[in-house]
Amino acid sequence: MWGAIIIVVALVIAMPVAIMMSGAAIAGVLGFLLKDDAERRGADTVWKDLNT
């Protein structure tokens, strides 16, 4: 009986928190990489001068 309760608590509380934290880490890395790529691609355009 206690084993089932522990499994349910893990699935309801621990798993969503782990999924959200890993999603936040992936989003941070992806945002850093895409920002760096966008800055390198648009370094010599007029839009870069207008944006700053």
Question: pLDDT tens digit string along 1-21?
Answer: 899 999 998 889 888 888 999
Mean pLDDT of the chain: 85
Domain count, the chain: 1
Residue 52 resides in a domain? no
pTM of the model: 0.56
Question: What is the domain range of residue 17?
Answer: 2-41
Residue 17 lies in a domain: yes
Contacts of 42 (CB under 8 A, 6+ apart): 48
Confidence band of 51 (pLDDT split at 50, 70, 90): low
Residue 9, Cα to own-chain centre: how many angstroms? 25
In a domain? residue 12: yes
Res. 22 pLDDT band, cuts 50 70 90: very high
Indicate whether 45 pLDDT > 90.
no
Look up residue 1 and give its amino acid.
M
Domain for residue 49, yes or no? no
**Distance (Å, rounded) from C-alpha 46 to C-alpha 16?**
44
Length of the chain: 52
What is the distance, to the nearest Å, from the Cα of residue 32 to the centroid of all Cα atoms in its chain? 10
